[in-house]
């Protein structure tokens, strides 16, 4: 039997700290902390196997509440530690931070919260047995929690490591431990929890078989997880319930500046992304620098491909990362030393060097993959999906902006713009949309304010034909018109709310005037079609000439009428040619253009949808003459109120 020396007591004091504050080492003393014990040992085993020594680890839940974790690696070293004078096995189980993860180049990729190691499991166990199969024989050591000098100690060696002499060819490490019920709130293992993580570890470590056995009940269960495809199989598994856009996941791996990366991706018909990242087999649920590097590379390479394929116009913005991520299932697995975890739950990778390393590997890997002519159809489907995602995103953004703009129109301030009429009956009310502030001023003086409202246009309204609805709504003049009419716009247009049943466009009889008229008609046609269909839109007709002699006045609206007017007035007449509305005084404007008894209005009615479409698109063409003629010849304008 073994005799305790001063140095052993010191070691046990280290394990005391673990028993005193288990939470510091395994997070909690609840179910999560309990299962953590298993993962400590499994992680160590996988580290050994992942280095190419062995290929199998088994986890067995025993009826007595203990758990066995066995691997077929090289076996924990059994030789004496050069300074401590005990076996390496004993060091591993009794020294904090020495357990499992060695500062050895074989274990360059170990790190993180895991790997506090086997000594923690030992410290928190009622008892623990380790067997090392090596050199064709079996070594064994046992530990237990016991009272020493009136104090409870955990992980106390019952005896030193010894060669049992039991011969065999097998190699590896076997550990069986029973969690101490005095430490844990529960000592009941959940086999589902264990199997789920075992499957994940099997995906992350291709070629390693993980066996989970539950021998606690009369009907033992056994599951084996082995994935030769590794994270490629992981992605396939994740996509089992989805429809993949292409049959094989894309796999990329590489090494860059101490970072070892593997990633596998496959797009599906889903709308969200499903990205899982790991660092040293630890899930990084909160993401971090590696995910950022991945997304940056994906976005950069695929945006290049989108342009190369001519799927967007040169002047168009790049697609966003989220467009390429839509429906993407992906697994990113990183191995690196000196891992820094950040975030709320310490599941976010903080190492900045990981971003550039991942970005480099993924960018060159993806580029290479898509250069291959064989993969052209995959690239095409990825790009097509992303372009569609971008379009949907852009449409949604517009819809949001439009509803915001519509809301702002509801509360749009018309003070100082609209001179409203006093009458409250829309069927009798008229809105004059007048070109220019000065003509607007004259119209204001001329009008019958009981039923005539005046809305002067300060500048040219936006040409709605060439713009998206959000841009149209951003235009001040157009917002003023929508607001004054009060009936909304587009799908929201409701003729019942219309404030004026005659909307009269009053512009100069020149090219500018024709242009403004065309712009307004286009806007009404595109965004308030019913206004035109119901015959509520009119064009006011100011005269072109005034023929007068003393107090006899005749107005003429074209050259034929001018001749008629001249002969009617007789010798000694004077002819004035109006170049614009502004040249008329208020009385003249009233008499010729605004007085319902004397004015001429052209009612705009477009019956034929195709003709209307032609009209509007021609109106918006650049040939001003053609446009002017088109208005006169093709639009179904009817004269109302007679001629004078």
In the complex, the residues that contact ligand 0RA under the rule CB under 6 A are 44-45, 48, 71, 73-77, 100, 102, 173
Look up 512 and say whether it is catalytic: yes
Nearer to ligand 0RA, 100 or 543 (CB): 100
Are 261 and 254 within 8 A, CB to CB? yes
Cβ at position 117, least distance to ligand 0RA in Å: 9
Nearer to ligand 0RA, 74 or 223 (CB): 74
Nearer to ligand 0RA, 102 or 177 (CB): 102
Cβ at position 143, least distance to ligand 0RA in Å: 15
Which residues, listed in sequence order, are joined to residue 274 by a DSSP beta bridge?
329
Distance between CA atoms of 239 and 234, rounded to whole angstroms? Answer: 9
Q: End-to-end distance of the chain based on CA atoms, in angstroms?
A: 127
Distance between CA atoms of 500 and 431, rounded to whole angstroms? Answer: 6
Are 325 and 275 within 8 A, CB to CB? yes
Helices (H) and strands (E) in the chain, counts: 20, 26
Q: Which of 360, 82, 34 is nearest to 190 (CA)?
A: 34
Look up 508 and say whether it is catalytic: yes
Are 253 and 265 within 8 A, CB to CB? no
Residue found by looking up tokens 């700290």 in the block: 17
Cβ at position 46, least distance to ligand 0RA in Å: 9
Catalytic residue (choose from 510, 563, 587, 608): 510
Cβ at position 118, least distance to ligand 0RA in Å: 7
Q: How far apart, in Å, are the Cα atoms of 227 and each of 210, 246, 543, 626? A: 10, 21, 88, 73
Nearer to ligand 0RA, 108 or 420 (CB): 108
Nearer to ligand 0RA, 197 or 515 (CB): 197
Sequential DSSP letters for 202-240? HHHSTT-EEEEEE-SSSS-EEEEE--TTTHHHHHHHHTT
Continuous H helices in 205-351: 231-238, 289-308, 321-325
Nearer to ligand 0RA, 210 or 547 (CB): 210
- For residue 69, the Cα-to-chain-centroid distance in whole angstroms is 42
Tokens of 578: 């109006």
Cβ at position 216, least distance to ligand 0RA in Å: 24
CA angle, 272 then 277 then 279, to 5°? 170
Cβ at position 49, least distance to ligand 0RA in Å: 8
18: phi > 0 → left, psi -120 to 50 → alpha, else beta; which?
A: alpha
Q: Which of 407, 424, 397, 535 is nearest to 482 (CA)?
A: 407
Catalytic residue (choose from 256, 512, 583, 595): 512
Catalytic residue (choose from 43, 430, 508, 591): 508
Question: Could you give the count of Cα atoms lying within 13 Å of 182 in the half-sphere of its Cβ?
Answer: 12
Nearer to ligand 0RA, 89 or 418 (CB): 89
Q: Which of 300, 361, 311 is nearest to 333 (CA)?
A: 361
Cβ at position 207, least distance to ligand 0RA in Å: 17
Cβ at position 75, least distance to ligand 0RA in Å: 6
Nearer to ligand 0RA, 88 or 409 (CB): 88
Q: What residues act catalytically?
A: 435, 508, 510, 512
């Amino acid at each position: 039997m073994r005799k305790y020396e001063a140095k052993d007591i010191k070691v046990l004091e280290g394990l005391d700290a673990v028993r005193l504050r288990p939470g510091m080492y395994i997070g909690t003393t609840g179910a999560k902390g309990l299962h953590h014990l298993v993962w400590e040992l499994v992680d160590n085993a996988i580290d050994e196997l992942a280095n190419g020594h062995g290929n199998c680890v088994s986890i067995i839940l025993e009826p007595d509440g203990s758990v066995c974790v066995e691997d077929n690696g090289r076996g924990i070293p059994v030789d004496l530690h050069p300074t401590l004078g005990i076996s390496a096995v004993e060091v591993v189980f009794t020294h904090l931070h020495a357990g499992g993860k060695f500062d050895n180049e074989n274990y360059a990729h170990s790190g993180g919260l895991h790997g506090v190691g086997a000594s923690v499991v030992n410290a928190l166990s009622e008892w623990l047995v380790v067997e090392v199969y090596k050199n064709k024989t079996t070594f064994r050591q046992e530990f237990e929690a016991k009272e020493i000098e009136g104090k409870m100690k955990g992980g106390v060696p019952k005896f030193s490591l010894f060669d049992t002499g039991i011969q065999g060819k097998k190699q590896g490490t076997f550990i069986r431990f029973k969690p101490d019920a005095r430490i844990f709130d529960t000592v009941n293992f959940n086999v589902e929890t264990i199997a789920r993580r075992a499957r994940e570890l099997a995906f992350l470590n291709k070629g390693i078989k993980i066996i989970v056995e539950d021998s606690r009940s009369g009907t033992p269960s056994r599951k084996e997880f082995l994935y030769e495809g590794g994270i490629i199989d992981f992605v396939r598994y994740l996509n089992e319930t989805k429809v993949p856009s292409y049959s094989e996941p894309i796999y990329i791996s590489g090494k860059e500046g101490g970072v070892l990366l593997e990633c596998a991706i496959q797009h599906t018909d889903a709308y969200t992304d499903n990205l899982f990242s790991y660092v040293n087999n630890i899930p990084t649920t909160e993401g971090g620098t590696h995910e950022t590097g991945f997304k940056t590379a994906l976005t950069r390479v695929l945006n290049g491909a989108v342009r190369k394929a001519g799927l967007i116009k040169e002047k168009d913005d790049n697609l966003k990362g989220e467009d390429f991520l839509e429906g993407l299932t992906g697994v990113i697995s990183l191995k690196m030393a000196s891992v820094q975890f950040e975030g709320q739950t310490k599941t976010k990778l903080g190492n900045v060097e990981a971003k550039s390393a991942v970005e480099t590997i993924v960018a060159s890997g993806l580029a290479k993959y898509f250069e291959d002519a064989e993969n052209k159809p995959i690239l095409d489907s990825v790009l097509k999906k992303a372009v569609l995602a971008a379009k949907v995103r852009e449409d949604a953004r517009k819809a949001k902006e439009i509803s915001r703009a519509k809301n702002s129109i509801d509360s749009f301030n018309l003070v100082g713009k609209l001179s409203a009429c006093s009458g409250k009956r829309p069927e009798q009310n008229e809105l004059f949309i007048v070109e220019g502030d000065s003509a607007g001023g004259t119209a204001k003086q001329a009008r019958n304010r009981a039923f005539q409202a005046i809305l002067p246009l300060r500048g040219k309204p936006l040409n709605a034909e060439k713009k998206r609805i959000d841009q149209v709504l951003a235009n001040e003049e157009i917002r003023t018109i929508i607001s004054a009419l009060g009936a909304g716009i587009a799908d929201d247009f409701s003729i019942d709310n219309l404030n004026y049943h005659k909307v009269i466009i009053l512009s100069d009889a020149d090219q500018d005037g024709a242009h403004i008229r065309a712009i307004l008609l286009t806007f009404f046609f595109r965004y308030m079609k019913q206004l035109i269909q119901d015959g509520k839109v009119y064009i006011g007709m100011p005269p072109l000439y005034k023929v007068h002699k003393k107090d006899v006045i005749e107005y003429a609206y074209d050259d034929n009428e001018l001749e008629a007017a001249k002969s009617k007035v007789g010798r000694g007449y004077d002819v004035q040619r109006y170049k614009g509305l502004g040249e008329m005084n208020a009385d003249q404007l009233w008499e010729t253009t605004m007085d319902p008894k004397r004015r001429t209005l052209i009612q705009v009615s477009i019956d034929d949808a195709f003709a209307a479409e032609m009209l509007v698109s021609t109106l918006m063409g650049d040939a001003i003459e053609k446009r002017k003629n088109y208005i006169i010849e093709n639009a179904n304008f009817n004269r109302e109120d007679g001629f004078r």
